[in-house]
Amino acid sequence: MFTNDLKKGDYVRLRNGWDARIEDNKKGLIRLCTVFGLETEMGSVYSHDIVWLWVGSKGKTVEQARTCPTQVIQLTDKQKALRKKAF
């Protein structure tokens, strides 16, 4: 699955280990997410920082989503180029 296939309400795991809920249906390099980390905040997340999807997590709470199976996220060529540029 590609990051462009993620829909509003899907729960994902970020590269830093925090969970997030997708808040938009946009495609591209940046997605709007609610991030559940030290604090719960909403903001922009680079698509290349999304590691995997909690499959079937839409409409659940973050605790319920963590019990769902996972699926690895693949990056598009543009997202891979941005990741190389950022690091």
Q: What is the pLDDT of residues 4-47, one digit of tens each?
A: 999 999 999 999 999 999 999 998 899 999 999 999 999 999 99
| Helix/strand/coil for 41 | strand
H or E stretch including 82?
A: helix 77-86
Model confidence at 72: pLDDT above 90 = yes
Residue boundaries of the structural domains of the chain: 3-86
The label of the residue with tokens 């699955």 reads 1
Task: Specify the pLDDT at position 87.
Answer: 66
